[in-house]
Structure formats: C-alpha cells, structure tokens
Amino acid sequence: MLKTLQTEHLSADIMLRNNIKLVGKGEKTIILAHGFGCNQNMWRFMLPFLEKTHKILLFDYVGSGNSDFSAYEKNRYQQLEGYALDIIEICDTLELKDAIFVGHSVSSTIGWIVAKQRPELFSKLVAVCPSPCFLNIDEEYQGGFERQDLENLIQLMDKDYIGWGNYLAPIVMGNDLSPIGPGMSENDALVHELLSSFCSTDVTYSKPFAQATFFSDYRSLLPSISHPCLILQSSNDTLVAKSVGEYTQKKLKNAKLEVIEGNGHCLHMTHPQHVLNAMDTFLQENE
C-alpha cells in the first residue's frame, strides 16, 4: 500500500513538474518535444490533426514554459542528458513504450540521447530542423557558428536579455521583427510570440539550456541510433544549413531527409501542413 501511494505521489509530481498534457485518441502515442526557448504551445498548429489519429503527449522541460521551476536542479540541466532524463521519467511514469518521438531543434538531439539509453521507449523519431552540433568544427563539418560568436551571444544574455531576444527571435523564425500593430502578418506575430517566449524565462534557467544547446557536440551519437528517423530540414535556415541535414542523414543508420521549402528554424509553426504530410508518409512507410 505504501509503495502504491509513493508511486502515485511520484507520478503526480512529474505530471506537475513537466506540465504534462495528454490529448487525442489512438493506439499509438506521439511525444511532441519543444526546442530551446520554446514551450508545448508551439505545437498547436499541428495538434488538431495529430490528435485525431494518435494519443499526444505534450510537456515542458523543467525551466521552460509552465513547468514547475522549483524542480530545477542546476547540475542536472547544464547538459542535454538532464533534459533527456525528463523524457525518460515521463515515459516510465506513464508506462510508455514504442512511442513516436517528434523533436524540434535541440530536442531532436535529446531524443537521440533517450533512444540510445532506452531504445524501447521509441519506435520512430521525427527531427524538425535538427543539429547534432551548432559549431564549425573542421572542413568536414560546419555547424554554422564559430565558438567566439556563440560565446558573445551567451554573454549578451547577461548584459541585455531583451536585446538578445530581439536579435535571436527573427533569426530563428526566419522573419524580421516588425512593430506590433494591426498590419502585422501571421509570420510577424510568430516572431513576437517567440520573442515573448525567450524573454519570459529567467536567464537562470535559459542560459544553461542555451549553453547545452549551442556548445554541445553529439555527432558521435548518431551512428548508434537504429530507429527509423525522419529529418525535416528547412531550405533556408540561418541556424542549420542543408549540409548539416545531409551530414546527419548519412551518419544515422536508418534516416530519411526531406527538405521543405521555407524560411527559418520552426517549420512546425510556419509550415505545419508540410510537416504533417511528411510525417504521415514516413509513418505509413515504417508501419
């Protein structure tokens, strides 16, 4: 009896800790994992379609969105393995196995970490604008950024957090930051939404996540992943060049690369129907 109560208490804690929401219907579960500076609400454009055929698990990493910030552990969340542990604990709490994992940006890498540690938790992986390493390493691999440029960007978080957000949000969304007003386009609104998401999180939590995201190198992890994987690459993404998508596809054992014509790093927001179509084909091919 005591063990049952402890288990129920732990389950309730994790549900609250990661702001878990379960929606939809279907035999198979899709886990939607948001990227750095984002939250589960960023999946809302795809959700109405996915929940018709699948159970959908939405969550926020600790330190992001509406997670329980009191559960934040400094040492744990200084590396991506700490965020991967969030997913492992969520899956164990909900007794999930063979889930379809969909990760945006750094969450793709986090998903690969989970897939290596606990391969039974996932059946397939979908990576939206992934990068195993954002750094320029050598002639073979150009992740897009020199280390000094990224260090300057991280330092800007301490000096001018709003300025950091104003600089990064348009790059990520692939659209200029226009003034708020009645003439705003949908893409303009998305840039402001991302800026708000960036700047609403205390730098205490966002800075370690940024460092873990931009300075890590998980290229050596890729060959150990055997799950079927779909890589969705934007044709014009300042953060992740097409060459990174091609490199990732080659290094994974069982991966398909699809380039979607579009700007920016958030295809699930700017081109949700294209992402849905590609996912549907991939899932059917890998039944």
Q: Which residues are catalytic?
A: 105, 237, 265
Which residues make beta-bridge pairs with 133?
A: 217
* ∠ Cα 163 168 172 (to 5°): 160
Nearest to 157 by CA among 126, 190, 201, 203: 203
DSSP-assigned states of every residue in the chain? -HHHHHHHHHHHHHHHHTT-EEEE-SSSEEEEE--TT--GGGGTTTHHHHTTTSEEEE---TTSTTS-GGG--TTGGGSHHHHHHHHHHHHHHTT--SEEEEEETHHHHHHHHHHHH-GGGEEEEEEES--SB-BB-SSS-B-SB-HHHHHHHHHHHHH-HHHHHHHHHHHHHTS--PPPSTT--HHHHHHHHHHHHHHHS-HHHHHHHHHHHHH-B-GGGGGG--S-EEEEEEEE-SSS-HHHHHHHHHHSSSEEEEEEEEESS-HHHHSHHHHHHHHHHHHHHT-
Kindly state the tokens that stand for 14.
Answer: 């994790």
Report the C-alpha gap between 144 and 137 in whole angstroms: 9
Report the C-alpha gap between 277 and 181 in whole angstroms: 33
